[in-house]
Structure 1
Amino acid sequence: MRRWKPQPSWRFWAASVLFLLIAAAAVYTLIPVGRALALPPEAWPINAQLFAQGLLGLALLSLAGSFGYQIVATATLWYGLDRDGLYIYWLGHRTVVPMQMIEHVASGVTERGANGHLLQQIGYFYGAGRLANGQTVQRFSTVNPKRALGIQTPTEIYLISPRESAAFIQELEQRRRIGPIQQLTPGIEAGSIFFYAFWTDKVVQRALVLAVLLHLVLLGTLMALYPSLPALIEMQTDPSGQALSSVPRYQILFLPLAGALLGLLNLGLGLALYQRTSVGARLLQLTTVGLQILFLIAAATILL
């Protein structure tokens, strides 16, 4: 199999600069939060502003991580050809396009929707989309779709940008005329390094999003109410409602901390189990949602 590197593009360097700038902004935003939490618990300046600052820092850190992923994906992108098909590799993943399904090669795709949204143009043009004419497009190009090669199949167009595109087209046509030796199955063969199958599971995605939102509601509410709480709060009561023990108010923040730690534990177990039992991995993430609801109820019981 001959290996074809993609054409060089300024988008890779733009993504690298954005990654560095956003990562620096995230660190700059989170440093004051770290300093505040480095104080003794009794002196923590907990309030809604600190919550918003921490949330912003984590959001910037997540965005920087997304750009970092795209940088590595761009650096590892390449195309392969043999008698049986076209292969697109990135980050250990492989997209297979059987040779018998390739109808023709278009020089550039100009239909509306080929470019995707702005975030799908960082590093390289990536992701699936739908063109104005209704066709599905799969983007794997480091150059604008107008200058990319469009590999047309009965159901999809694959946008690629190999160096020496004329030689690539010539070799592709030669292999099409020779014909395949074996029939391949089209689609994505996911690598295991980034747990692609786990993160793209719809049940897992929805459970994780819901769990994170519930956790943020709990943490944000507690931090917003924290300045108005008394120095000592009642954590346990008897059946008649009389307080059994009072603790410093900062201990109420252990509820979201416990929720986060249990959520991370379930996430790690889900990643480890998904290949063997996807149902079990999904149930773990749904359990995380239930735990966040229980912690919300516990917090409401203490505060009301």
Structure 2
Amino acid sequence: MNRWWAKRTLRLWVALAITLLMIGATIWATMQLLADISGTASAWRIDLTTFAWFATAVSGFLISLIMLYRVGSALTLHYRVDRNALTIHWLGNTAVVPMNLITAVEPSVDVKQKPGLLTRFGYISGVGQAADEQILNFFSTQPAEQSLLLRTTGGSYVITPAQRDSFIQEVESRLNLGVVQVQSEGVVRSTRIAYDFWLNNAVRWALVVGLLLNFAVWGLIAWRYNQLPLEVPIRIDATGAVSGVEAREQLLALPLVGLLAWLINAGFGALVYRTSRAGAFALLIGSSVIQLFLAVAVWVVVRG
């Protein structure tokens, strides 16, 4: 079974350069953050500049991971063809297009709706729509008009093999031979937990909202931190009255707990997504609610 590499274009190398710049910016922000909080905790001078370094370091780290995944996917994207199926491979993932479902191989694609902008970094992936309303599954490195279209009975696949003509001949010859064993269509192996979880736009927005709310808690502390006394009323009893004070650096534990809750809920959400989407969304919404409660608690302290 031959391996047909996807065509590598300027898009990939630009994405790689941007990724390296992002990693460099993340390292720089982390170094600045560590410089701001060096020494004993009681002597830390935390302000909005410190918060900016923190937000840049955390978001830069997460964005760098996403960028590295997409660049790695683009570098490893290839296609294989046998009598039973055409398979699409990228970074340990495999999507299967059964030969018995392929109805045509067309040299170009007329697209009505492209995948989202973020799914075009490094290579083009995701779901779009053709001019004839058919669903398009993108696994390509070039614009639609320069890609191949594999039409199937249920949808179509947009791909870009580097050896275009030879690939078309290979697919057509396999189609003429007929199928020996019927395959199931779809992603059958994935290196990512809950592949569909990360592709869901609602999931992505829920994760972004939760993280932004957590950043807001950090920002609220940074805004007033240097004006706070060395000891602040953090411990509250059941009646809402202050039951004790703590060193002001202990206040930083509140958004840290929120960040850990966001990470843990995202992880458990990915694990349960396939069996219970409602459960996954409940976890994501729950992490945002936690951030709101923490924001209220911090506001009570910093307003004096």
Q: Common fold, TM-score beyond 0.5?
A: yes
The within-5 A match list for 1:176-255 is 176-200=175-199, 205=204, 207-236=206-235, 243-255=242-254
Partner of 2:155: 156
The SS at the match of 2:225 is helix
Map 1:54-203 onto structure 2 (within 5 A): 54-111=54-111, 113-114=113-114, 116=115, 118-200=117-199
Distance 1:72 1:250 in 2: 40
1:135-178 CA-to-partner distances (Å, cap 9, x unmatched) read 32222122332222111224433111223222221221122223
Paired with 2:226 and 2:290, the residues of 1 have a C-alpha distance of 26
Q: Per the alignment, do residues 194 and 297 of structure 1 end up closer, same or farther by CA in structure 2, a change over 3 Å counting?
A: same
Aligned match of 2:46: 46
Distance 1:139 1:267, change over 3 A: closer
**Larger displacement relative to structure 2 (88-97 or 133-142):** 133-142
Secondary structure at the counterpart of residue 109 of structure 1: coil
Q: Aligned partners of 1:177, 1:183: CA distance in 2, in Å?
A: 15
Q: 2:111 & 2:287 partners in 1: Cα distance? A: 43
Cα distance change of structure 1 residues 151 and 272 upon mapping to structure 2, 3 Å threshold:
closer
**Unaligned 5+ residue runs, structure 1?**
none
Q: CA deviation at 1:256?
A: 1.0
Q: TM-score if structure 1 supplies the norm length?
A: 0.84
Give the CA deviation at 1:74: 1.3
Coordinate RMSD, CA, aligned: 3.1
**Structure 2 gap ranges (5+):** none
Q: Could you say if the C-alpha distance between residues 300 and 7 of structure 1 is closer, same or farther in structure 2, counting changes exceeding 3 Å?
A: closer
Identity %: 30
AA matched with 1:161: T
Separation (CA, whole Å) in 2 of partners of 1:188 and 1:239: 52
Aligned residues: 303
- Whether the 8 Å CA contact 1:190–1:197 is kept in 2: the answer is no
Question: Alpha carbons of 1:239 and 1:133: their partners in 2 closer, same or farther (altered >3 Å)?
Answer: closer
Superimposed CA distance per residue, residues 9-32 of structure 1 (whole angstroms, 9 cap, x where no aligned partner): 233322221111121122223321
User: Which piece of structure 1 moves more, 160-169 or 278-287?
Assistant: 278-287
Distance 1:250 1:133 in 2: 60
Q: How far apart are the structure 1 equivalents of 2:65 and 2:275?
A: 28
Moved more, 117-126 or 153-162: 117-126
In the TM superposition, what is the alpha-carbon distance from 1:225 to its structure 2 partner? Answer: 2.2
1:255–1:67 distance in 2 versus 1, CA, 3 Å: same
